Amino acid sequence: MSSSTLVEKTASELSDLLSKKDISSLEIAQACLTQIDRVDGQVHAFLHRDDTDFLAQAKASDERRGKGNLLGPLDGIPVALKDVISVKGQPLTAASKILQNYISPYDATVTRKLKEAGAVIGGRLNLDEFAMGSSTENSAYGPTRNPWDLNCVPGGSSGGSSAAVAAREAPLTLGSDTGGSIRQPASLCGVVGMKPTYGMVSRYGLAAFASSLDQIGPFSKTVEDAALLLEVISGHDPLDSTSFPSEVPSYTANLSNSQKPCVLGLPKEYFGEGMDDEVRNAVDLAVEFYRTQGHKIVEVSLPTTELAVPVYYVIATAEASSNLARYDGIRYTTRSEKAKNAIDVYAKSRGEGFGEEVKRRCILGAYGLSSGYYDAYYLRAQKTRTLIREDFNRVFKDVDAIITPTAPTPAFKFGEKSDDPISMYLSDIYTISTNLAGLPAISVPCGFTQRKLPIGFQLIGRAFEESSLLSIAHAYDREHKFGCVVPSLVKE
């Protein structure tokens, strides 16, 4: 089977081919490397590769399979990771100069689980520095480009993770989502991206941005593949104090439950001004599909939606300013060569090592936590966050899931919003609320604009009901499979 054919296969298809011994893991790995060599000079999804280790893992998988020691359906399947997730012996830069020489001394819990499942871990993927951004323009090592239009952003902050799947450089990737950083780039790149319930996937080994909001999740071509990957990385972890002690169901086995009619809520606040007409039309068609399949569609209201963006940027920046205080030039971070005294080490190392967006958010966060302003900003934001969560709790008494657009627009051009932080922040207006409420949400591709730019819709579910959410998403995805449409860049 040719390399170009292999890279277009879904992870589930590759797993089936491996089980039939029609292909080897080494062939898959070599096909991925060939594809990366062919397109990544234009896309720039990867920050680091260790091809020797990647091929060695694939060879080890083939040897296990030959001895009958299969570790699971992901055994031999490549998975690339956003460069905020620790892999022992590999760089972790968070796309920042301040960590340019850092090598992870341990595996993140999700990394360990992938290794135990036999996945072939390959490469570190680009992002907005410390996951702060919506376009992957904030990387210290250059932007990632959208495989559907190289003049457009891939979304962010997990732009490298979404672009790598869209460009067929990896069948599966992991990203992190603090306010939409998995779902928004998934929408803009035409792939599936899911944020699990807060606490469902361990954050141990994830470079923290905002600890009460961050969550690791999968990117894939299909909902079925997302379920396959999520099943492996989910579960309680004693190393993460926020990890929830729950059993992990078989997400893939439960996908067929999608045939059961359900009630889907359409929040009127998500369908107002500011949404691109082509996005609206594509989402309307997705809603109509569910209606024709026998699902009940009802209008609901989430009145605190308009408060989500300001609340998020108070809480997220406050937590970022605290979390990023550890990057001080003293311990494992790059130290300024211009420092003449101890104060200089802190000030100059951070000044030279952090990019503009990271500095902006740290300053905003420190201000919100400062004496005399804590009650007015941070405490008030946390109280409003409770109201946002209560809004969802009320709505979920009557509906099984909520359906919304994922992003208000398709992918935008480089530089279009970089000079206007507020405009950039509003790119996540439909995704932020679920992080504040800790709920699971998934972005599913649902069509294209006239310029052939992808569009996605979002499904939001009840806490820890990923299985139900995935089955509802799968009902649409198995019929349409927009995530399997190949960008022209890949065909060339």
According to DSSP, the β-strands at 296-300 and 263-267 are parallel
Q: Tell me: do 310 and 454 sit in the same domain.
A: no
Q: Which of 90-104, 203-217, 369-383, 396-410 has the lowest mean pLDDT?
A: 369-383
Domain boundary residue, one of 317, 350, 382 = 382
Q: Tell me: do 153 and 199 sit in the same domain.
A: yes
Q: Tell me: do 373 and 437 sit in the same domain.
A: no
DSSP 31-68: HHHHHHHHHHHHH--EEE--HHHHHHHHHHHHHHHHTT
Those residues whose C-beta lies under 8 Å from the C-beta of residue 442, and which sit 6 or more positions away, are 183, 192, 193, 194, 195, 223, 226, 458, 459, 469, 470, 473
Residue 118, pLDDT > 80, answer yes
Residue 328, pLDDT > 70, answer yes
Residue 162 sits in a domain whose CATH number is 3.90.1300.10
Give the residue with greater pLDDT, 114 vs 5. Answer: 114
Task: In whole angstroms, give the CA distance from residue 152 to residue 161.
Answer: 16
Residue 153, pLDDT > 80, answer yes
Give whole-number Cα distances, 183 to 26, 56, 384, 404, in Å: 31, 32, 23, 12
Q: Tell me: do 368 and 429 sit in the same domain.
A: no
Instruction: Give residue 426's pLDDT.
Output: 78
Residue 260, pLDDT > 90, answer no
Domain boundary residue, one of 354, 382, 410 = 382
**Six token digits for residue 447:** 């069509």
When pLDDT is cut at 50, 70 and 90, the band that residue 372 belongs to is confident
Domain boundary residue, one of 382, 412, 430 = 382
Domain membership of residue 61 as a residue range: 3-268+396-491
Residue 342, pLDDT > 60, answer yes
Residue 3, pLDDT > 80, answer no
Give the residue with greater pLDDT, 490 vs 94. Answer: 94
Spatial CA neighbour of 280 closest among 462, 138, 407, 128: 407
pLDDT in tens, 228-238: 999 999 999 99
DSSP 362-402: HHHHHHHHSTTTTIIIIIHHHHHHHHHHHHHHHHTTT-SEE
pLDDT in tens, 452-462: 999 999 999 99
Instruction: Give residue 259's pLDDT.
Output: 67
Q: Tell me: do 235 and 348 sit in the same domain.
A: no
Residue 295 lies in a domain: no
Q: By percentage, how much of the chain surpasses pLDDT 70?
A: 99
- Contact assessment for residue 142 and residue 96, using Cβ atoms and an 8 Å cutoff: no
pLDDT in tens, 198-224: 999 999 999 999 999 999 999 999 999
Determine the average pLDDT of the residues in 36-47. 98
Residue 289 lies in a domain: no
Which residue, chain included where needed, has tokens 């003449």? 340
Residue 409 lies in a domain: yes
When pLDDT is cut at 50, 70 and 90, the band that residue 258 belongs to is low
Determine the average pLDDT of the residues in 127-148. 97
Residue 57 lies in a domain: yes
pLDDT in tens, 287-312: 999 999 999 999 999 999 999 999 99
Q: What is the mean pLDDT of the chain?
A: 95
Residue 282 lies in a domain: no
Instruction: Give residue 410's pLDDT.
Output: 97
Instruction: Give residue 196's pLDDT.
Output: 98
Q: Tell me: do 335 and 419 sit in the same domain.
A: no
Task: In whole angstroms, give the CA distance from residue 182 to residue 454.
Answer: 15
Q: Tell me: do 240 and 134 sit in the same domain.
A: yes
- Work out how many domains the chain is built from and give that number: 2
Residue 452 lies in a domain: yes
Residue 72 lies in a domain: yes
Q: By percentage, how much of the chain surpasses pLDDT 90?
A: 87
Q: Tell me: do 219 and 346 sit in the same domain.
A: no
Q: Tell me: do 76 and 177 sit in the same domain.
A: yes
Residue 298 lies in a domain: no
Give whichever of 73-82, 413-422, 483-492 has the largest mean pLDDT.
Answer: 73-82
Q: Tell me: do 253 and 159 sit in the same domain.
A: yes
Instruction: Give residue 243's pLDDT.
Output: 97
Instruction: Give residue 470's pLDDT.
Output: 97
**Six token digits for residue 435:** 């992080």
Q: Which of 48-52, 83-87, 255-259, 424-428 has the lowest mean pLDDT?
A: 255-259
Task: In whole angstroms, give the CA distance from residue 54 to residue 29.
Answer: 7
Q: Tell me: do 180 and 262 sit in the same domain.
A: yes
Determine the average pLDDT of the residues in 225-250. 96
Instruction: Give residue 4's pLDDT.
Output: 77
Those residues whose C-beta lies under 8 Å from the C-beta of residue 277, and which sit 6 or more positions away, are none
Q: Tell me: do 9 and 94 sit in the same domain.
A: yes
* Residues taking part in catalysis: 82, 157, 181
